[in-house]
A and B are shown apart, each in its own frame.
Chain A
């Protein structure tokens, strides 16, 4: 019976121009979105290799200079001396740390256009090192990208609604519903068949087109973790699609005319995809506002003015805190510019720390509100899931920044020791290295599963509501 229904429904659906328009629009959007994602990833990879090349070239240049200076016994200013650990740590030997895009990064640009994927590590203060950003037209950041995630979060539900808002009402308005139900089938079976058909068409279109586009742009399916992530991605697309089908059927089940259904569904879409996220964002920033960074700048400035004035006194204190660094004549060291600077920098950071902590506390508080309230909108959950799968979300970036902070600590400790030991570098083989430890697939899966569950619950509720209401569906009038 179901097969007959499906066949028949497909015949009438495919005879209608609208489905082909919908699929055409969808295919174009998916293609454009995927290409945009791929172009962005290519841009990032170019920037990363440019950074690596710059670093390699610079380190080689300075290492060659060391050999030359030693051979010629040349004199050179301390700032430019490639053997001076202070100069090397501060600029000459600076290294880049990179958050590599995952193989599936083209699927969602996420936060990767706003949060930088590489930093140049020096002995400067952490906030200075982490303040770097990628160049981007601010107008484009404001607008957001037309990537596959945008197509899926915004356009996909609308196209679903366009094909389902009059699922029953049009048949009723044309008078064919009563005819169809004069056959030995229930209304629920009819609806199920219609939804099943449309869902299959959509899922096949999205997954097929997106996979095709991914293959064309050269996503490596064999890379570790790609296939499970793709499975999650397909599950997210299916789950989010089902939510909107359930919403459309639930509204249809109320038995209102087509135009009313369209209005209600457009309203639901606007509320869930546009209004709830932006109201939530507004609420989070209103409850826990993050002060402008100018406060941090001023605090740092005041602290460093004061600390600079106390220069050598601070060095004495620093020696007390770090007795392991005392070498040779500590008294003479008191006048050493480099040593004083290390002590001053440490003191500035100690004083500014409470101000900095307030920024991260406020942001964390905002994130907690959002983490709880995101279940109000499947669109937010979908965004989270897609960003997590593509590795372009805030969570992975936070993990990256944490590792960068640790590496920055190691970098500084390494050079502080060399500065205090009055060491001279003969080559750069001993510079600390950074390797990003990516999140485990398990952790990503758990987060994505949480988001998907958040979409599934309202879907089931809507489906149950529709199932119950369909019993009372007014066939005429």
Chain B
């Protein structure tokens, strides 16, 4: 078996095409790691500085009414996950900043993709792209001759007549391809690790190690799947030419066709509203004055009951603070309904998209790659929710202060002490187990593909036709 593997490796290494391809894949991954590293460092630095600056501006506000301060607000800037240098995922297509102000949940604005040229729509050359799209082609080209080639040359008959067990032959071939693959993957991984290690100015790597490790495992399962499929087709096809054409068609459908077709189909199944439709519907609900009046009356009654008085004048707190907060609470319900509904739509689309992974192993591994890199929609939503929670917290602190400390009719200002009561906005990427839970169906699909591919390879090689 090892003899076979060694023969495979030697043969592959002697092949000039293989050497050229290996160098190409390596160069591509090195370039993409370098570009990813630089982009990550630049953007992360800009965002951290900006987050600090917005905090300072908040703290340095002059004495003013707390509600003015709430209107002045702060900005939330989306931090980049470190592994985005492996897979930038949806990052270019979601906004980087949201204004956290009173009364309003603002969208995250400024998609980086809008500051780029049209050719980026051909796809970003990330390390993930090099691994998930280019490397499988490399596997296909390195293994399509495995059986079909020997069969055509008649050496397969020789081999089997020597009494080599089919199982050993298959394992040897697989091992040979894997070893050749390792010659590309290992250096690429070293470059990747070096790129990650060069980002320690943004904090320790510890939190990202499990994510990176799982990422590597998922990629390896994917490569194993492609190797198994290639060997199965090579064993089954009558000529190397047929094997190659089938495998190329599979590669193309897997890496390009199914993804796009599925994304459009998912959008077809779960349509999203247009921005104008979304805004109009939300404004309509927000401007419903009648509901607000009813709610304020209820609050007044509650207060009078709690302080056991018969008139609002006798209530020892300022109702304008209560009224502002009630407005926030009501608006929050509207935001939760509308933004929540929209995000659910996206999630339904993404789930439908995930199930299209039944047709192509690329889909589950791509979803997993983005999930582990922290650049998929679930992670984005998590951050948006955290920023919105923070905004609501600011409003609560400001409105409570108005209710407690100001007098109706009198001018009231608060100062630095109140601004400092609002804690700093800190966001930590959720743990790896959270990410894996979100992507659980993809893990299942990827494993299913791997098992099915291995079974196929075993079946196709069990009765190996020699001619």
Known: A131-B110, A138-B380, A380-B119. A259 touches B240 (CB 8 A): yes
Known: A262-B244, A266-B248. A50 touches B277 (CB 8 A): yes
Instruction: Check if A295 is an interface residue, CB within 8 A of chain B.
Output: yes
| Binary CB contact string for chain B from 337 to 354 against chain A (1 if under 8 A, 0 otherwise) | 000001001100110010
Q: What's the minimum C-beta distance from A447 to chain B, rounded to whole angstroms?
A: 13
Residue of A nearest to B262 (CB): A143
Q: Are B245 and A162 in touch, CB under 8 angstroms? A: yes
Q: Which of A63-71, A241-249, A279-287 contacts B (4 or more CB under 8 A)?
A: A279-287
Q: In residues 271-296 of chain B, which contact A (Cβ within 8 Å)?
A: 272-278, 280
Q: Which of A8-16, A363-371, A405-413 contacts B (4 or more CB under 8 A)?
A: A363-371
- The CB with the most chain A CB atoms within 10 A, among B42, B256, B342, B346, is that of B256
Q: What's the minimum C-beta distance from A309 to chain B, rounded to whole angstroms?
A: 9
Q: Are A46 and B46 in touch, CB under 8 angstroms? A: no
The CA-CA distance from A133 to B109 in the complex, in Å, is 8
The CA-CA distance from A276 to B360 in the complex, in Å, is 25
The CA-CA distance from A185 to B190 in the complex, in Å, is 58
Instruction: Check if B104 is an interface residue, CB within 8 A of chain A.
Output: no
Q: Are B274 and A47 in touch, CB under 8 angstroms? A: yes
Q: Are B275 and A142 in touch, CB under 8 angstroms? A: no
A-B contact count (CB 8 A): 230
Known: A139-B353, A142-B89. A387 touches B241 (CB 8 A): no
Instruction: Check if B252 is an interface residue, CB within 8 A of chain A.
Output: yes
- The CB with the most chain A CB atoms within 10 A, among B97, B116, B117, is that of B117
Q: Which residues of B contact A29 (CB under 8 A)?
A: 257
Residue of A nearest to B278 (CB): A135
The CA-CA distance from A43 to B92 in the complex, in Å, is 23
Q: How large is the interface on B (under 10, 10 to 19, 20 to 34, 35 or more residues)?
A: 35 or more
Q: What's the minimum C-beta distance from B364 to chain A, rounded to whole angstroms?
A: 14
The CA-CA distance from A132 to B109 in the complex, in Å, is 8
Main secondary structure of the interface of A (DSSP, over half): helix
Q: In residues 206-245 of chain A, which contact B (Cβ within 8 Å)?
A: none
The CA-CA distance from A302 to B50 in the complex, in Å, is 11
The CA-CA distance from A266 to B246 in the complex, in Å, is 12
Q: What's the minimum C-beta distance from B342 to chain A, rounded to whole angstroms?
A: 7
Q: What's the minimum C-beta distance from B253 to chain A, rounded to whole angstroms?
A: 10
Q: Are B263 and A146 in touch, CB under 8 angstroms? A: yes
Q: Which residues of A contact B183 (CB under 8 A)?
A: none
Q: What's the minimum C-beta distance from A21 to chain B, rounded to whole angstroms?
A: 10
| Binary CB contact string for chain B from 18 to 56 against chain A (1 if under 8 A, 0 otherwise) | 000100000010011001001100110011001001100
Q: What's the minimum C-beta distance from B340 to chain A, rounded to whole angstroms?
A: 14
Q: Which residues of B contact A181 (CB under 8 A)?
A: none
Instruction: Check if A391 is an interface residue, CB within 8 A of chain B.
Output: no
Q: Which residues of A contact B43 (CB under 8 A)?
A: 292
Q: Are A115 and B129 in touch, CB under 8 angstroms? A: no
Q: Which residues of B contact A286 (CB under 8 A)?
A: 35, 38
Q: Which residues of A contact B241 (CB under 8 A)?
A: 166, 257-259, 262
| Binary CB contact string for chain A from 289 to 312 against chain B (1 if under 8 A, 0 otherwise) | 111111101100110010000000
Q: In residues 355-379 of chain A, which contact B (Cβ within 8 Å)?
A: 359, 362-363, 366-367, 370, 374, 379
Instruction: Check if A140 is an interface residue, CB within 8 A of chain B.
Output: yes
Instruction: Check if A124 is an interface residue, CB within 8 A of chain B.
Output: no
The CA-CA distance from A68 to B35 in the complex, in Å, is 62
Q: Which residues of A contact B263 (CB under 8 A)?
A: 139-140, 143-146
Instruction: Check if B358 is an interface residue, CB within 8 A of chain A.
Output: no
Instruction: Check if A345 is an interface residue, CB within 8 A of chain B.
Output: no
Instruction: Check if B261 is an interface residue, CB within 8 A of chain A.
Output: yes
Q: Are A51 and B118 in touch, CB under 8 angstroms? A: no
Residue of B nearest to A392 (CB): B118
Q: Are A145 and B264 in touch, CB under 8 angstroms? A: yes
Q: Which of A150-158, A321-329, A450-458 contacts B (4 or more CB under 8 A)?
A: A150-158
Instruction: Check if A110 is an interface residue, CB within 8 A of chain B.
Output: yes
Give the residue of A154, A274, A290 whose beta carbon is less than 8 angstroms from that of B133: A274
Instruction: Check if A118 is an interface residue, CB within 8 A of chain B.
Output: yes
Give the residue of B92, B116, B134 whose beta carbon is less than 8 angstroms from that of A270: B134
Q: Which residues of B contact A200 (CB under 8 A)?
A: none
Q: Which residues of A contact B119 (CB under 8 A)?
A: 277-278, 280-281, 284, 370, 374, 380, 383
The CA-CA distance from A270 to B50 in the complex, in Å, is 40
Q: In residues 2-54 of chain A, which contact B (Cβ within 8 Å)?
A: 29, 32, 36, 39, 43, 46-47, 50-51, 54
Q: Are B261 and A32 in touch, CB under 8 angstroms? A: yes
| Binary CB contact string for chain B from 102 to 129 against chain A (1 if under 8 A, 0 otherwise) | 0000010111111111111111110001
Q: Are A278 and B124 in touch, CB under 8 angstroms? A: yes
Instruction: Check if B137 is an interface residue, CB within 8 A of chain A.
Output: yes
The CA-CA distance from A114 to B45 in the complex, in Å, is 26
Q: Are A295 and B46 in touch, CB under 8 angstroms? A: yes
Residue of A nearest to B145 (CB): A259
The CA-CA distance from A137 to B377 in the complex, in Å, is 9
Give the residue of A278, A294, A305 whose beta carbon is less than 8 angstroms from that of B123: A278
Give the residue of A133, A143, A279, A294 whose beta carbon is less than 8 angstroms from that of B50: A294
Known: A139-B346, A277-B122. A150 touches B260 (CB 8 A): yes
Q: Are A363 and B115 in touch, CB under 8 angstroms? A: yes
The CA-CA distance from A263 to B149 in the complex, in Å, is 14
Residue of B nearest to A21 (CB): B249
Known: A143-B259, A150-B260, A294-B50. A262 touches B245 (CB 8 A): yes
Q: Are B121 and A144 in touch, CB under 8 angstroms? A: yes
Instruction: Check if B319 is an interface residue, CB within 8 A of chain A.
Output: no
Known: A262-B245, A278-B123, A293-B97. A137 touches B46 (CB 8 A): no
The CA-CA distance from A290 to B110 in the complex, in Å, is 12
Q: Are B32 and A259 in touch, CB under 8 angstroms? A: no
Q: Which residues of A contact B28 (CB under 8 A)?
A: 275
Q: List 21 A-B contacts (CB under 8 A).
A: A32-B264, A43-B274, A50-B277, A50-B280, A132-B275, A133-B111, A135-B273, A137-B346, A138-B90, A139-B346, A140-B264, A166-B241, A273-B122, A281-B120, A286-B38, A292-B42, A292-B112, A293-B97, A301-B54, A301-B57, A374-B119
9 further interface pairs, Cβ-Cβ under 8 Å (given A116-B275, A274-B134): A50-B274, A114-B111, A140-B266, A274-B133, A278-B120, A282-B35, A289-B42, A293-B109, A305-B57
Spell out B's residues near A (CB within 8 Å): 17, 21, 28, 31-32, 35, 38-39, 42-43, 46-47, 50, 53-54, 57, 75, 77, 89-90, 92-97, 107, 109-125, 129, 133-134, 137, 141, 144-145, 240-241, 244-245, 248-249, 252, 256-257, 259-261, 263-264, 266-268, 272-278, 280, 342, 345-346, 349-350, 353, 376-377, 380
Top 8 A-B residue pairs of the complex, sorted by shortest distance between their CB atoms: A47-B274, A277-B122, A293-B110, A278-B125, A138-B93, A138-B90, A146-B260, A141-B93
